[in-house]
Structure 1
Amino acid sequence: MGTTLIGLIVIAVAVIYLVVIYNRLVSLRNQFKNGFAQIDVQLQRRHDLIPNLVEAAKAYLSHEKSTLTQVMEARNNAVSAQKDAAKDPGDGTKIQRLGGAENLLTKALANFYAVAENYPELKANETIQQLMEELSSTENRVAFARQAYNDGVMTYNTFREQFPNNILAGMFSFKETAQLELESPEARQAPKVAF
């Protein structure tokens, strides 16, 4: 009778321990998915501002159509990658594709800003200035949201990889996910604004 009771207690403790690990994995996964949702909101705002900026700049940059086309193509690619990643923020491949698309968009915008420097009337336009300020503010929000998301992913991946959590994670298909990173050193530099 005594050994049966001890056996039942050991089994109950083991089951409770496994339930706690499973629930923690679910909680951490939901945290990083929520972090991605915050990035998604800010990226949507960024993507919505870009066509307005391009449209406002068209009159001034009639000789720079390739620059404007490049910005819009990069924006459309980033929107597609964002929508794909939003379907499954736990898929590291989709997150990496999003990071690459956003990196290309950042480069295209940097090129746009460099071209805009050669047009004083464009820089003096109040609408353009306001759109560029809103875009800059949104970039800061994206950076903060990305940091929170990456922290959540790191916590999830670390907990998932620890023993014995890794056994339970493997049994229930808690996959490793990727952080959202910029790929080039240029994209990591703060944009320079000159008046």
Structure 2
Amino acid sequence: MSKGTKTLLAVVAGIAVLVFAGVSFYSGNYNRMVALDEAVSSQWGQVENAYQRRFDLIPNLVATVKGYAAHESGVFTAIAEARSKAGGVMNISDEVLQDPEAFERFQQAQGELGSALQRLLVITENYPDLKANENFLGLQNQLEGTENRIAVERKRFNDMVQQYNSFIRQFPRAIIANMAGFRVKSYFKAVESANQAPEVEF
């Protein structure tokens, strides 16, 4: 074998190694981005489940309170409106994670609903018979547990988004992320009206 052929084979082998290394680097990072993106979507589903649980508890809670405090119509109207607004953004796909404005609307609607629920629980303090009602106490207890779940799932979601965002923003992975269409996702931020779970007193 001539010296020129050996040199050519060495160059071809070197190029093949570089191409293989490049493809391996790209595919490894791309697959990790996909896995992290799926993990964020999965955690988003858990956040929605927690909110859906609260959403489903409201009609029974309101009906029970109405039996004792029918004249508190302003609070009931506020809850109905907030629930309706939250319902409009409840059953949405995880595509909302790609749209910061849609994500903000989701948070705002949930915050308004949480605030309305807080007002409902405050007025129940004026009705001792209601506070002693077993059905109401059970619903109140479920609501407290649900609010705690919401806080936990939001934190887990933010942790997962932080992992994802950090991974896709680091160089040179940022180049791959940009080429493959992976975008930074929004964090769940507590809004003023929803930064605390409703106070539940027994």
Tell me whether the two structures share a fold, i.e. TM-score over 0.5. yes
Structure 2 residue 178 is matched with structure 1 residue 170: yes
Aligned with residue 57 of structure 2, among 49, 63, 85: 49
Structure 2 residue 124 is matched with structure 1 residue 110: no
What's 1:134 paired with?
A: 142
What's 1:188 paired with?
A: 195
Shift of 1:114: 1.1
Aligned-partner residue type, residue 61 of structure 1: A
Whole-angstrom CA distance in 1 between matches of 2:200 and 2:147? 14
Structure 2 residue 126 is matched with structure 1 residue 144: no
What's 1:33 paired with?
A: 41
Structure label with greater radius of gyration: 2
Note the alpha carbon deviations across 1:138-170, whole angstroms, 9 max, x for none.
111111111111111111111111111111111
Alpha-carbon contact 1:93-1:178 (below 8 Å) kept: no
Shift of 1:48: 0.4
Aligned with residue 17 of structure 1, among 22, 25, 31: 25
Whole-angstrom CA distance in 1 between matches of 2:96 and 2:53? 20
Shift of 1:190: 4.5
Aligned-partner residue type, residue 126 of structure 1: E
Alpha-carbon contact 1:53-1:128 (below 8 Å) kept: yes
Q: CA RMSD in A?
A: 1.5
Aligned-partner residue type, residue 199 of structure 2: K
Mark the runs of 5 or more structure 1 residues left unpaired by the alignment: none
Q: Which moved more, 1:22-31 or 1:59-68?
A: 59-68
Whole-angstrom CA distance in 1 between matches of 2:89 and 2:52? 11
User: Matches of residues 117-128 of structure 1 in structure 2 within 5 Å?
Assistant: 117-128=125-136
Percent identity (aligned): 35
Shift of 1:25: 0.7
Shift of 1:189: 3.2
TM (norm. structure 2) is 0.90
Note the alpha carbon deviations across 1:90-113, whole angstroms, 9 max, x for none.
433222211111111111111111
Aligned-partner residue type, residue 201 of structure 2: A
Whole-angstrom CA distance in 1 between matches of 2:171 and 2:61? 51
Whole-angstrom CA distance in 2 between matches of 1:40 and 1:192? 22
Alpha-carbon contact 2:118-2:199 (below 8 Å) kept: no
Shift of 1:71: 1.0
Q: How many residues align?
A: 194
Whole-angstrom CA distance in 2 between matches of 1:51 and 1:180? 26
